[in-house]
Each structure stands twice: as C-alpha cells, then as structure tokens.
Structure 1
Amino acid sequence: MFTYLRHGLAAVLISAAVMSPVLAQDWREQYPELTIGISSGENETDAIARNEPYAAYLSEALGVPVKIVRGTDYAAIVEAMRSEHVHIASVGPAAYALARKIMGEDVAPVAVTLDNEGNLGYYSVIAVRADSPYQSLEDIKGKSFAFADPNSTSGYAVPSYYLATELDTSADEYFSEVAFSGGHEQSVMALVNGTFEAVATHWRNEEAGNIQTMESKGLIEEGSTRIIWTSPVIPNTPVMILTTLPQELQDEFKAALLAFPTADPEGFAAYTRGTSSGYVEATHEDYLDVVAITEFNAAERRRTAN
C-alpha cells in the first residue's frame, strides 16, 4: 500500500540554545521517528523525489528521522493517520474533511501554502483535448468523463457539487460514461490518449497546475488540452497533524514548517517546484465550505442509491 522513503539513521539534535534539553528529550523518546503521509496526483517516482528535500529538512530541524509514506490513494493516508501509523499528512482539503469526519478533533490543520502571488487557493477545472470541438459544459453532455479519486477535492468533490447544485444533475446522469482514473496524471493521460473526452483536475494559475506540470515533464505535449470550466476558488491543501501528539512536538513541527521557506530556500523551492512563496497558519474553520461540500455529495450518493 505504501512506498517508504527514509532520511538519516541517527537523530540530529536541535541546539540546546533553541530549546530546553528536558523538553527535547521527552517527545523524542516517545517518538524517535516521525512519519509524514502523502498521496500525490503525480507518479510515484516524481512524488518521492520531490518530497526528499522536505523530509531531509524536517529530519534536521526536528532532530529525529522523518519518513515519507506515499499512500495508494487519499483514503489510505487518512486510515494510516487514524491508526497512528502516520503522524502528519498533506492530502487535499476533501481528504482533510474525511479525516475530520473519522477522527474529529484528533486531527487539525497546521498551515497552508501561499502561491507566488500570495494566493491561498486553487481551482478545479474540466479539460478537453485541444483539438476537440467542445467549448463548454453543455458541449460535453453525453460524453465520456473521468474523475481523479473519490476523495480528491478538485478531481471529484467540487465538480460533483457543481453538477448537482448548478445544473441539477449528477455525473452519472450527465455523461455517457463516468470513471475514476486513479489520479490527476492518469486522468489527463487518458484524456490525451482518447480514453475520455473530458476530465476533472486541478489548476492554480497560468504557470502552475497539473496540466502545466505534466507538460514541463514531457508527459504530454504543450497545448494538447484546453480548459472549458473553472470552479470557484478552493482553499489550498492543509498540512494536518494528529492533535494527540505531545504539544511540544506539535509546536516544534509547526515552527519548523513555517520556517522551511527561509531556513532551506533551495529545498523548499524543489519541494514546491518553485510555485509557492511560503506558509501561513491554517485552522479548521478555513475548510468548513469543503466539509459542507463533501457532506452534500455523500448525502446525494445515499439519496440516488435508494
């Protein structure tokens, strides 16, 4: 289920000038290693490589080895947090809503990234092939369509909510064929290859998003897709943590995370692909709209199943 990445065999102790040895010793004895969960829309090799600077920085800053765990999907990481095999995670707003539903206040957001323009959000988009005749949602009615993952915010929750509330329909009713591709890259690859006529994915701005990243990596040709629908803004993915962890650990992780862009600018740039200017603190209240959307979608699924 998971791919593991380890950094360092021994702990690197934080300077005694930074914090008291007593506090430093307490939580590190209980947690001699920390695990961070990810479930990226990109392929496994690229996801692991991109997270290496993140794990290396935190290993040094916190004074214990940090292990990156990549789940097969968002739900796998949430389940790993519930069983305390993962302590910290970044898996999307809808997956955070799922975690909160399952674990309640035992999980909470710590911080969220800003893009290079200082924005706190991104978008769900529906894309078609550039050479297709489709220009609007009305044009793809009755066509084949792919979501990314059932716990993806931009790849499922938001477009499903829009179909239900704005068009008074569902994906199953609106499209001739509906499937989950398994991830954002898989959706766009299937679109370009002709498996589907439209797909949902994520987009931040003209320079950043799933499609732009895939173009820059040579996975698809530049200009091979076209966006025909863009959602309202979605709050960025939160970094969430188990609140059952020692408070000193939580506080030190939060401080290290917020300092990442300035303490290790090269590592931060590699981790974010240069698309983020830093972090700001986040709270549960920032994600109330996403929680409401996921609850609405769940109620709709129950209603249509009966």
Structure 2
Amino acid sequence: MLTRRMLLAGLGASCALPAGAQDDWRRSVPEVRIGVSSAENEAGAIARYQPLMGYLSDKLEVPTKLYRVTDYAGLVEAMRADQMEFSRFGPAVYALGRRILGDRLQPLFRDIDQYGQEGYYSVVLVRSDSPYRTLADLKGKSFAFADPNSTSGFAFPAYFMRKEGVDPQSHFSGTVFSGGHDNSVLALVRGQFDGVATYQVNAESGVAQRLAAKNMIPQGSTRVIWTSPLIPASPFCARANLPDALKARFVAAMNAMKDEAPEIWKTFTDGHVSRYAPARHDDYLDVIAVTEELDAQRKQRRS
C-alpha cells in the first residue's frame, strides 16, 4: 500500500485537489509517453517495460506508451521537445539534462534495493578465465566504455581511473563506446575486448548477472577487477511543466505497484528493488561535478 512518506513533498499538495480538478490534466495530456534509451538491449527493455505500460494505462486512465530513442542524450532531447512525459535517467544523463533544461527537468524518485542501498557501482569486468586482476594488468589491452553519457559506463570509471593514475587514453591500447551495457558485456565474453566498464548493484545484481540469468552469457564468465565509489540510483524524472496532478498520480502508481501488481513489479525491477524513495536534485551534485570535470578535460584536449 502506498504510504504518505513515500510521496514527494512537492507533489503531496496536489493529491489533495478535488477529484474533478485532478482529472483535468487528461485534457492536455491525453497520452502518457515513457522514454527508454535503445542503448539497453531491445528485447530486454520491451520485456521489462511493456507490462508496466499496461499497468500505468489502467492507473492513469489514459493510454501509456513506451518510446525508444537512439541513445541516452536522446532522452534529454525528447524531454526538451515535450515529446516525452516521464523517463528514467542515468545520473550522468540527469546531469546533462539539468545542464540543458535546468529546472524544467524534475527528479521524482529512485530505487532502494533489498539491502537498503540507494545506489549502484561502476565496475570493470574481465573474462573470468583471463589473467587480469587489476587495472594495471590491462595496460596495452583493449577496453570498452558503454556510452559517453553513461554514468557507470563512462563518467565514473573515466574520472576515478584518472584519480588513481590510470588515464584511459594512454593506458589501454584503444577504447571504444560499445553503444550500451549489454553490448559491452556480450562483446567481452565473445573476446572482442579485454575489459569493459559497466554497472553492478551488488554481487547478485548487475548487467552480467542479468545476462547470465537469461542464458545470454555463461554463468560465472566474468569477473570484477575494479569498483567505483557508490553512484546514487538513477532517478525517474518528469517534465516539470506537466500538471502536478499527473505527476502525483504517476508517483502514486509506481509506489503502489509492488503491492497491487507484484508480478509486474518483479518483472520491471528484476526482483532487486525493495521500494522507491524520493529523489532530490541535491542527491546528484557529486555526479554533476564529475561530468563537468570530464567535459572540461575534453575541451582542454581539443584546444
């Protein structure tokens, strides 16, 4: 059951609106569009999100549809063009979105896992049968990041590797962007790269674990050799110019899903989320600082 403390404070007042006033938003928003980046494996994304669309259509009482965009930055562009109502943003993509949209992009809530953890980690994976044990062992080897706008797949590993004296530009024989976390891990297991940056919540939950559970890679075929500091969980975001009653109803529906639609909840969260908690802009200030420093380094190299 939805609890009051789980509702965002900024949206709570709108929940007290008369029923008729709450329903008025449907005149201006006859369809709710949820954005997802195609950087995630297509079949996997559709399998996780499509049941959620049916659930939200019932709860919001308007058609709710999934829209895929070409990359993470495309989610920001869709929000800027008012072509998307809600989307889940990686922390670095949220930083990009705030740089472009400012307060027009509003964080709503984020995951808390079954251990009470409100975040995840960037990890460097190698094949489990490889001799590599540390980043130093990957000197002169091939390496893949996920996407230039990915927090765990680029921003955090690139930033903290340099802090540890490992410059990806010179340390590896070459680096590429694979186009997504699934692509990186699949290519690693196939032998196309010696190391990849991706994400992991804990030893039981992450990209490699999910792919292994789906028999897309063998169990135990990868090994972690580096872990970043904790990254705050990816926020579900809204266009701030949406009616408050719609945002409140969306938050309430997502919070109620675990109790009211447990199978859909399990499918959407992979069974690794205990509940949602409000997300605040201040939660992502460290991520914003990391992305801004990386941008400054890029500009310096080009000048």
What TM-score results when the alignment is normalised by the length of structure 1? Answer: 0.91
Partner of 2:208: 211
Partner of 2:281: 284
Equivalent pair of 2:156/2:290 in contact (CA under 8 Å):
yes
> After the TM superposition, which residues 163-242 of structure 1 pair with which residues of structure 2 at under 5 Å, given as runs?
163-167=161-165, 169-242=166-239
* 1:301 alignment partner, one of 292, 298, 302: 298
Does 1 or 2 have the higher relative contact order (CA < 8 Å, sep 6+)?
Answer: 2
Alpha-carbon distance between aligned partners in 2 of 1:271 and 1:293, rounded to the nearest angstrom: 29
**Residues 208-240 of structure 1: CA distance to partner in whole angstroms, max 9, x if unpaired?**
100000111111111111110011111111000
Equivalent pair of 1:111/1:258 in contact (CA under 8 Å):
no
Unaligned runs of 5+ in 1: 1-17
> After the TM superposition, which residues 132-151 of structure 1 pair with which residues of structure 2 at under 5 Å, given as runs?
132-151=130-149
Alpha-carbon distance between aligned partners in 1 of 2:55 and 2:131, rounded to the nearest angstrom: 47
Q: Which deviates more, 137-146 or 34-43?
A: 34-43
Alpha-carbon distance between aligned partners in 2 of 1:216 and 1:97, rounded to the nearest angstrom: 31
Deviation at 1:91, TM superposition (A): 2.6
Partner of 1:273: 270
Deviation at 1:26, TM superposition (A): 1.4
> After the TM superposition, which residues 1-306 of structure 1 pair with which residues of structure 2 at under 5 Å, given as runs?
20-39=18-37, 41-167=39-165, 169-306=166-303
Equivalent pair of 2:39/2:70 in contact (CA under 8 Å):
no
One-letter amino acid of the counterpart of residue 129, structure 1: R
**Residues 256-305 of structure 1: CA distance to partner in whole angstroms, max 9, x if unpaired?**
22222222222111111111111011110111111111111111111111
Secondary structure of the 2:205 match is coil
**Residues 136-183 of structure 1: CA distance to partner in whole angstroms, max 9, x if unpaired?**
01111121100001111100000011122221x531111111100001
Equivalent pair of 1:128/1:227 in contact (CA under 8 Å):
yes
Secondary structure of the 1:204 match is strand
CA RMSD of aligned residues (A): 1.4
Equivalent pair of 2:188/2:194 in contact (CA under 8 Å):
yes
Identity %: 48
Alpha-carbon distance between aligned partners in 2 of 1:40 and 1:152, rounded to the nearest angstrom: 13
Alpha-carbon distance between aligned partners in 2 of 1:82 and 1:268, rounded to the nearest angstrom: 29
What TM-score results when the alignment is normalised by the length of structure 2? Answer: 0.92
Alpha-carbon distance between aligned partners in 2 of 1:25 and 1:137, rounded to the nearest angstrom: 55
Deviation at 1:190, TM superposition (A): 1.2
Kindly report structure 1 stretches of 4+ aligned residues shifted beyond 4 Å: none
Equivalent pair of 1:53/1:268 in contact (CA under 8 Å):
no
Secondary structure of the 1:125 match is strand
Equivalent pair of 1:145/1:197 in contact (CA under 8 Å):
yes
Question: How many residues were matched structurally?
Answer: 288
Alpha-carbon distance between aligned partners in 2 of 1:21 and 1:236, rounded to the nearest angstrom: 33
